Amino acid sequence: MPTSAARRRWSLTRYFAVVSVVAMAALGCALVWVTSNVMRGQALRDGTASAETLTAYTVGSVPSDAFADGLVSPEEQAQIDSAATGFGDRLVEIRLWSATGLLMYSSTTGARPGFPDNDRFAHVQRSGAADAEVLVDLRDHDVPGDGGSAMQRRVLDVYVPVRASDTAGPRVTDAGADGAAADGTAGDGSTPAAAPHPDEVVGAAEILLDHTASEAALSDAVRTVGLVVGGGLVALWLLLFRTVFTTSRRLQSTALENARLALLDSLTGLPNRRLLAERMRRTVTAAHEDGSRVGLVLLDIDRFKDINDSLGHDRGDELLEQVAERLRGALRDEDVVARLGGDEFAILLPDVRSVANAERLARRVRALFVPPFTLGELSLHVETSVGVACLPDHAHDSSSLMRTADVAMYAAKHHRTGVSVYSADEDDSSPARLVLLGDLHHALDTDADAEPQLEMHYQPKVDLHSGKIVGLEALMRWRHPTRGILAPGTFIPLAEQSGLIHDVTRFALSQAVAQLALWRADGRVTPVAVNLSAHDVTSSTVVDVIEGLLERHGVPPELLEVEITETALVADPSRVVPVLKRLGSIGVKVAIDDFGIGNTSIAQLRDLPVDELKIDRLFVSDLRDGGRAGSEVVVQAMVDLAHSFDLRVVAEGVEDQETASALRRLGVDHAQGFWYSPAVPAAALPALSDVPRQRRPRPPATAAAPVGPGRTTTGTGARGGAAAARSPRTASSEPNS
């Protein structure tokens, strides 16, 4: 029903034509009707004025007594006839009516006695105003030139009141001529009637005027007005219709152009983001129905802003047009090439057979940019970053397909790989990560009465020569309500990206210092090291937090150590070094974690306010089973360098006796790893007060997160994201988990 209604909807031109015709017809009729009424009223007023003039002439010779007794003498009739002669043929008849309604006089020869129109006669006597009405004269009369044939004619019948002042006054009798009797009686002995008041209506004159010519003139005038009004309205309608028609056509043309521009890119003529989204929606719907695969390729021109800034926006637009032309000519007919805006293009691949095929097509697209582009006299080589995503492999709908392809494109740009297929590991904004981020918020905001989800585990640092525990490293674990125990490598990078890392660090520090206070109360004074993120050590706020915690719990500063990664240290030394110096000034020891993978120079190491170097597990694992050639030389060099600056050396990732023996032989001071103990809750530490030089069994899987190839499960309590980005070889054995 709505479809048929929309089909019957009138156009603007048709709607205006119908409505305007009806409106103007009504306006024209109203104008003619009003004009006709005004002209008819004026004609009646003119006729009434003529009748009043004629009455004044005719009744001026009639005594007022005649209107009282209803009798007019022959002499008086002759005088009336003489007075009416001057009004010519327009006068049809004069009738004089007495005050009682008797016909006193009629100008028509042989007229029979009759009666006035009682209503009109009474109205005239009562109001003292004339009353006019157009009537049809049905009497036979002679029409000049027609041999006396009879016809109907229209007459204006006017009743005019006759006042005493209009008449000739009372009759003059003989007695009146001789004078009244001395006693005041008339000569005949009767008492004369009192004279009427001058304004008193003593009778009425009925004047019938020929109204045929006036009616004909009125009809001609009305017809002329009608023609003028009609012609004027038709001309006005034609002008308005032409204006509306032209405007409507222009609006339609503009609407069509706007619709085209709304779906196509104005510069390249390619489909724009809106049209691509619609095509993607239909293609994805069809793919869900038939089980096919849909691919999406996003392409971004590298350093396009530099091209615009150096060559100008005109050259940049010319480059975009040439890119669009190359893309259009190199793809299948069913593929859709669109410009999303700026220097970003998209290619929709319906019914692609596999992700590998989509990737091959993406590489072929990138190969289109190998030949240089000619911009005027300049030959320009352009590089691109291309991201590939497929449905259902990487997304479930058109929106998520666009998002995953965008993630892949920025991964290609970041890693400079040219072409990148979507990988969940590169997706920092995946829905799963966002859910995990919300869970982390909840875990940090848990009430004191509720069971905490975040907890600290502790891994011993063992003196390689005495076998004694000389320190502990605090490592955070998250007991997720649905995912089990999560190692820091799962949520610490997420916390750093979202800004939650500062809250995580405060939690780790407060838990470690509180535990130190409990152990100190029991007589145990083993130092505990807490990892700090690169985001924490760029501000002295973390020093204020540490000072407050130590003072609140009454813990000596020498029992607390902090560890920062070497990469965090070299990233912004101008901001990090002052923080480390302040920590050293209050008595907190500082260790450089993951040493060997950064770019710290000997001069920097000499001037750094640190107490300990922790050799990265990459070099420690090289010592296992004979290790790589020269691995012992590298470790020995690190040890000698550290000892030359009076720094202790700690080796991470010790998993067997051979590695421990090799490290002891090379002069390493302390070690930690699965060979001695994994990170365990504080309650399990009393049994580890003295670790023998033999392998202890690993705890059940519930005590630590599983470690697998290619997964980073570093046990850093608040460590930066550098460890999370290591290669599988680096993270294949993780003693801190």
CB distance 737 to 707 below 8 Å: yes
Q: In this structure, is residue 1 part of a structural domain?
A: no
CB distance 387 to 422 below 8 Å: yes
Q: In the chain, how long is the greatest CA-to-CA distance?
A: 181
Q: Position of tokens 């449905």? A: 391
CB distance 94 to 107 below 8 Å: yes
3-state SS assignment for residue 349: strand
How large a percentage of the chain has pLDDT more than 90?
18
The number of beta carbons lying within 10 Å of the beta carbon of residue 74 is 7
3-state SS assignment for residue 507: helix
CB distance 59 to 166 below 8 Å: yes
pLDDT at 587: 92
Mean pLDDT, range 189-201, rounded to an integer: 67
CA distance 567 to 120: 119
Let me know whether 528 and 598 are in one domain: yes
Sheet arrangement for strand 294-301: 336-341, 344-349, 294-301, 384-391, 419-421
Residue 81, both tokens: 């006839």
Return the closest-CA partner of residue 274 out of 346, 343, 362: 346
Question: For the domain that residue 395 is a member of, what is the CATH number?
Answer: 3.30.70.270
Mean pLDDT, range 651-669, rounded to an integer: 89
The number of beta carbons lying within 10 Å of the beta carbon of residue 45 is 12
Domain end, chosen from 409, 427, 445, is at: 427
Let me know whether 159 and 216 are in one domain: yes
Residue 496, both tokens: 């750093």
CA dist list (Å): 404 to 153, 271, 428, 539: 98, 21, 11, 35
pLDDT at 179: 46
Q: 161: left (phi > 0), else alpha (psi -120 to 50), else beta? A: beta
Q: In this structure, is residue 161 part of a structural domain?
A: yes
pLDDT at 192: 54
pLDDT at 19: 86
CA distance 546 to 530: 11
CB distance 13 to 244 below 8 Å: yes
Q: In this structure, is residue 267 part of a structural domain?
A: no
Q: What is the pLDDT of residues 325-345, one digit of tens each?
A: 888 877 777 888 999 888 899
Confidence band, pLDDT 50/70/90 cuts, at residue 516: very high
Question: For the domain that residue 715 is a member of, what is the CATH number?
Answer: 3.20.20.450
Q: In this structure, is residue 50 part of a structural domain?
A: yes
Q: What is the pLDDT of residues 241-284, one digit of tens each?
A: 888 888 888 887 777 677 666 777 778 888 888 888 889 999 99
Mean pLDDT in the chain? 80
Q: What is the pLDDT of residues 433-458, one digit of tens each?
A: 778 778 888 888 866 566 788 989 99
32-46, 54-68, 689-703: range with lowest mean pLDDT: 689-703
1-15, 171-185, 223-237, 510-524: range with lowest mean pLDDT: 171-185
Tell whether the model's pLDDT for residue 494 goes beyond 80.
Answer: no
Q: What is the pLDDT of residues 26-45, one digit of tens each?
A: 888 888 889 888 988 888 89
The number of beta carbons lying within 10 Å of the beta carbon of residue 12 is 14
3-state SS assignment for residue 155: strand
pLDDT at 720: 37
Let me know whether 643 and 724 are in one domain: yes
pLDDT at 229: 87
CB distance 97 to 160 below 8 Å: no
pLDDT at 687: 54
CA distance 343 to 306: 12
Up-side HSE of residue 642: CA atoms within 13 Å toward CB? 26
CA distance 422 to 312: 34
The overall pTM is greater than 0.95: no
pLDDT at 448: 56
Sequence-ordered list of residues with C-beta below 8 angstroms from that of 91, at least 6 positions apart, any chain: 54, 84, 107, 207, 208, 209, 210
φ, ψ for residue 269, nearest 5 deg: 80, 0
Helix axes 273-290, 398-415, angle to 10 degrees: 110
CB distance 192 to 186 below 8 Å: yes
Q: In this structure, is residue 245 part of a structural domain?
A: no
Q: In this structure, is residue 483 part of a structural domain?
A: yes
Tell whether the model's pLDDT for residue 305 goes beyond 90.
Answer: no
Q: Position of tokens 């004159």? A: 205
Mean pLDDT, range 474-478, rounded to an integer: 91
Let me know whether 499 and 415 are in one domain: no
Domain end, chosen from 427, 443, 475, is at: 427
The vertex-357 CA angle with 352 and 363, nearest 5°, equals: 120
Q: What is the pLDDT of residues 564-614, one digit of tens each?
A: 887 777 767 788 888 989 998 999 999 988 887 766 667 677 777 889 989
Q: In this structure, is residue 461 part of a structural domain?
A: yes
The 3-state DSSP composition of the chain as helix, strand, coil percent (nearest 5) reads: 50, 20, 35
Let me know whether 302 and 379 are in one domain: yes
pLDDT at 177: 44
Supply the range of the domain harboring residue 639. 454-731
DSSP conformational letter for 396: S
φ, ψ for residue 196, nearest 5 deg: -70, 160
Residue 395, both tokens: 């997304």
Residue 529, both tokens: 């090291």
Let me know whether 593 and 468 are in one domain: yes
3-state SS record for 244-300? HHHHHHHHHHHHHHHHHHHHECCCCCCECHHHHHHHHHHHHHHHHHHCCCEEEEEEE
Confidence band, pLDDT 50/70/90 cuts, at residue 64: confident
Exposure class string for 527-557: b at 16+ Cβ within 10 A, else e: bbbbbbbbbbbbeeebbebbeebbeeeebeb
If 0-12 CB within 10 Å is exposed, 13-18 middle and 19+ buried, where does residue 464 land?
A: buried
Helix (H) or strand (E) holding 560: strand 560-565
CB distance 403 to 428 below 8 Å: no
Q: Position of tokens 């006709």? A: 36
How is 51-62 classified by DSSP, letter by letter?
Answer: HHHHHHHHGGGS
Question: For the domain that residue 41 is a member of, what is the CATH number?
Answer: 3.30.450.20
Return the closest-CA partner of residue 198 out of 160, 159, 167: 167
Q: In this structure, is residue 236 part of a structural domain?
A: no
3-state SS assignment for residue 166: helix
**Residue length of the chain:** 737
Domain end, chosen from 378, 410, 427, is at: 427
Let me know whether 405 and 481 are in one domain: no
Let me know whether 205 and 329 are in one domain: no
Confidence band, pLDDT 50/70/90 cuts, at residue 721: very low
CA distance 527 to 507: 18
The tally of domains found in the chain comes to 3
Mean pLDDT, range 405-419, rounded to an integer: 87
Q: Position of tokens 């009372």? A: 170
Q: What is the pLDDT of residues 150-193, one digit of tens each?
A: 557 888 899 999 988 878 777 665 444 444 444 545 445 555 55
Tell whether the model's pLDDT for residue 210 goes beyond 90.
Answer: no
pLDDT at 261: 65
Let me know whether 579 and 651 are in one domain: yes
Let me know whether 473 and 420 are in one domain: no
CA distance 487 to 478: 7
Let me know whether 296 and 415 are in one domain: yes
CB distance 517 to 682 below 8 Å: no
Per DSSP (E only), the strands in 122-186 are: 131-137, 153-163
Let me know whether 566 and 522 are in one domain: yes
